[in-house]
């Protein structure tokens, strides 16, 4: 593994080690912490800072967060799941302020025995089909969760025990695509209980950029992924694995590595486009047919950790390791413009997902919490507090029946929390 900045380690842990562990007995020595950074979840962020400036920003964010939590342990009743300070006014039904107990997950899935890095629902099937949740975890396993029994139906091992950080389905739940730290993207055949890898792509990329998948026709898919060269993105056609194009920034652009990708098209059959968030905090819109950048927008001072885009409203949102969510829009001239920014209390967003119905969005935070916002005005709706470590991913289910749709979050604390936020609103 090429961890360019073993760099920030020492400084990075400064505030955290002292402040976080106020009371607990398990005081892990600093050495152990530093070693821990090799594991992908931290490594991902760390590698991202690696080459660039201000490597310890994430931790300063942490330090600011800590006192609040530590104080709550100290004695006063901790308002668990409380609203963001200053954002309280607009609560609607999800959490009435103090009278109601804080919202709980509907269920918690345990048993991955490693940090969870990615989640993907597959609930679209007809009645006899059981809704499924795929989870990819740090120990290289992909767990297939049966959402009826809440138990693992199968555990797939295809990435040589290296962290799996992206799982997607291609069509039904029988065809699965997974990306792991072994630099491979695997295609799985899960029909009739099979658990075999049918094909795989060697990415040669050492980053943590999740690939993006777009269905362009029946049985034809486009997949964008970070390529071997540090700043390149490659687009392949699946299942043939033929290269469509390679997107290379202009010489001297210094975008850094791609951090997150989103392939989209306005309507079926129209020209597919790619949005990519880069290490230097900018979001770039690429034209796949010309291989040229259409527009570039600097949204953040820090690497873009995650982005999602709503093609109907031509609006997107991105989060980084800072305390800011950035919302940007795409005008008719295919230019990206900053639309709005939203300030957060605690820094660090590891994942952002807009719900398929485009009404709300969820963020996964380094402060162990998920936040729910209204997508239209970015109105804060709820803070979901359950996890005891960084939340790595959030995902909405695609169930046909709206009342059975779910939100899932996977965290470093090895648990997956399932929330039912449709029925409660």
User: What CA–CA distance (Å, rounded) separates 265 from 273?
Assistant: 6
Q: For residues 318 and 283, is the Cβ–Cβ distance under 8 A?
A: yes
**Which window, 32-40, 108-116, 258-266, 374-382, contacts other proteins (CB under 8 A)?**
108-116
Cβ proximity to other proteins: between 94 and 216 the closer is 94
Binding of other proteins by 80 (CB under 8 A): yes
Binding of other proteins by 24 (CB under 8 A): yes
Binding of other proteins by 291 (CB under 8 A): no
- Angle, helices 57-74 vs 40-50, to 10°: value is 140
Q: Token pair of 93, please?
A: 């039904």
User: What CA–CA distance (Å, rounded) separates 5 from 48?
Assistant: 9
Binding of other proteins by 104 (CB under 8 A): yes
Nearest approach, Cβ of residue 415 and other proteins (Å): 9
Cβ proximity to other proteins: between 106 and 329 the closer is 106
Cβ proximity to other proteins: between 24 and 31 the closer is 24
Size of the site for other proteins (CB under 8 A): 25
Buried residues in 104-135 as b, exposed as e (16+ CB within 10 A): ebbeebeebebbbbbbbbbbbeeeeeebbbbb
Closest by CA to 346, choosing from 79, 54, 59, is 59
**Which window, 105-113, 136-144, 320-328, 357-365, contacts other proteins (CB under 8 A)?**
105-113
Cβ proximity to other proteins: between 236 and 383 the closer is 383
End-to-end CA gap in the chain: 45
**Which window, 103-111, 210-218, 238-246, 275-283, contacts other proteins (CB under 8 A)?**
103-111
Binding of other proteins by 110 (CB under 8 A): yes
Q: Quickly count: other Cβ atoms within 10 Å of residue 2's Cβ.
A: 8
Binding of other proteins by 174 (CB under 8 A): no
Binding of other proteins by 97 (CB under 8 A): no
Binding of other proteins by 149 (CB under 8 A): yes
User: What CA–CA distance (Å, rounded) separates 400 from 392?
Assistant: 26
Selected binder of other proteins within 111, 160, 219, 356 (CB under 8 A): 111
Nearest approach, Cβ of residue 48 and other proteins (Å): 30
Selected binder of other proteins within 50, 55, 61, 105 (CB under 8 A): 105
Cβ proximity to other proteins: between 349 and 418 the closer is 418
Selected binder of other proteins within 30, 150, 248, 379 (CB under 8 A): 150
Binding of other proteins by 78 (CB under 8 A): yes
Binding of other proteins by 386 (CB under 8 A): yes
Binding of other proteins by 99 (CB under 8 A): yes
Cβ proximity to other proteins: between 201 and 370 the closer is 370
Binding of other proteins by 403 (CB under 8 A): no
Phi, psi of 174 (to 5 degrees): -80, -30
Binding of other proteins by 73 (CB under 8 A): yes
Binding of other proteins by 89 (CB under 8 A): no
Selected binder of other proteins within 35, 97, 151, 241 (CB under 8 A): 151
Selected binder of other proteins within 97, 148, 228, 343 (CB under 8 A): 148
Nearest approach, Cβ of residue 82 and other proteins (Å): 13
Cβ proximity to other proteins: between 355 and 368 the closer is 368
Applying CB under 8 A, which residues contact other proteins? 23-25, 72-73, 75, 77-78, 80, 99-102, 104-105, 107-108, 110-111, 148-151, 386, 388
């Amino acid at each position: 593994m090429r961890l360019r900045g073993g760099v920030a380690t020492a400084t990075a842990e400064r505030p955290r080690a002292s402040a976080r562990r106020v009371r607990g007995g398990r005081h892990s020595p600093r050495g152990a912490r530093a070693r821990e950074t090799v594991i992908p979840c931290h490594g991902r962020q760390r590698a991202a800072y690696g080459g660039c400036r201000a490597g310890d920003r994430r931790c300063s964010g942490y330090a600011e967060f800590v006192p609040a939590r530590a104080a709550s342990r100290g004695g006063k009743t901790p308002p668990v799941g409380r609203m963001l300070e200053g954002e309280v006014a607009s609560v609607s039904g999800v959490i009435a302020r103090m009278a109601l107990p804080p919202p709980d997950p509907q269920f918690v899935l345990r048993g991955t025995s490693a940090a969870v890095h990615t989640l993907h629902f597959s609930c679209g099937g007809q009645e006899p089909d059981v809704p499924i949740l795929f989870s990819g975890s740090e120990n290289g396993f992909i767990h297939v969760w049966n959402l009826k029994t809440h138990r693992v139906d199968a555990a797939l091992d295809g990435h040589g025990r290296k962290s799996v950080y992206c799982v997607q389905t291609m069509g039904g739940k029988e065809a699965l695509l997974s990306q792991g730290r072994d630099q491979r993207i695997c295609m799985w055949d899960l029909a009739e209980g099979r658990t075999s890898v049918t094909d795989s792509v060697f990415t040669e990329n050492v980053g943590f950029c999740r690939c993006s998948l777009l269905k362009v026709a029946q049985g034809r898919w486009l997949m964008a992924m970070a390529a071997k060269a540090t700043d390149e993105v490659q687009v392949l056609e699946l299942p043939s694995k033929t290269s469509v194009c390679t997107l290379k920034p202009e010489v001297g652009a210094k975008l850094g590595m791609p951090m997150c990708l989103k392939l989209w098209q306005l309507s079926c059959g129209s020209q597919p486009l790619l949005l990519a968030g880069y290490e230097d905090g900018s979001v770039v819109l690429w034209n796949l047919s010309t291989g040229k950048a259409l527009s570039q927008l600097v949204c953040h001072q820090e690497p873009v950790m995650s982005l999602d885009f709503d093609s109907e409203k031509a609006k997107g949102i991105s989060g980084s390791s800072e305390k800011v969510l950035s919302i940007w829009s795409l005008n008719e001239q295919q230019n990206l413009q900053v639309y709005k920014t939203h300030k957060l209390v605690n820094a660090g967003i590891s994942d952002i997902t807009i719900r398929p119905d485009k009404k709300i969005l969820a963020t996964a935070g380094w402060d162990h919490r998920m936040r729910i916002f209204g997508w239209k005005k970015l109105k804060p709706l709820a803070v979901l507090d359950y996890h005891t470590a960084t939340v790595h991913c959030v995902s909405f289910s695609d169930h046909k029946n709206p009342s059975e749709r779910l939100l899932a979050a996977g965290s470093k604390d090895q648990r997956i929390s399932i929330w039912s936020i449709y029925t409660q609103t």
